[in-house]
Amino acid sequence: MKSTIQKLRRKAAKSQAVQCYYCQQSMWETDPKIFSERFRVPGRAVFLFQCTAEHLVARCDGGRDTEDNVVAACLHCNTKRHRTKRPKDAVSFARHVRSRMKQGKWHAVMVKQSPVEISHSKAAANQ
């Protein structure tokens, strides 16, 4: 039987189209190998894109396991947010991540499109 947090993570992932709340990259929930092949994510880097439950207000700050407080975030973003002495709030951290992504300084080692979509895009561009 799934725990409450697992159910909340799954529901959040579904409502977010299985994209990270912060970096908006695709994530995997059950099979890293399929994800790695689909998005051509090399080796251990695939584990950065594991779907995790992220509390917008951390439990240590009084946040609860509720639908409005739990979103889906990739493991990389989730852990990066909480590694500092004074973590940013969720909205500020999302702005920070997206700014860093525009500069090419975040973990976005994959493309958002599947290999099939990429090959169709390249074919259309060559016509």
Q: How many domains is the chain partitioned into structurally?
A: 1
Tokens (6 digits) for 49: 């894109």
Q: What is the pLDDT of residue 1?
A: 53
pLDDT of 12-39, one tens digit each?
A: 999 999 999 999 999 999 999 999 999 9
- What CATH number is given to the structural domain containing 104? 3.30.40
Helices in 16-110 by DSSP H: which ranges?
A: 32-39, 75-81, 90-102
Q: What is the pLDDT of residue 84?
A: 85
Instruction: Give the confidence band of 125 by pLDDT, cuts at 50, 70, 90.
Output: very low
pTM beyond 0.85, yes or no = no
Supply the range of the domain harboring residue 36: 4-126
* Strands annotated E in the chain: 51-55, 70-74
pLDDT of 61-76, one tens digit each?
A: 899 999 999 999 999 9
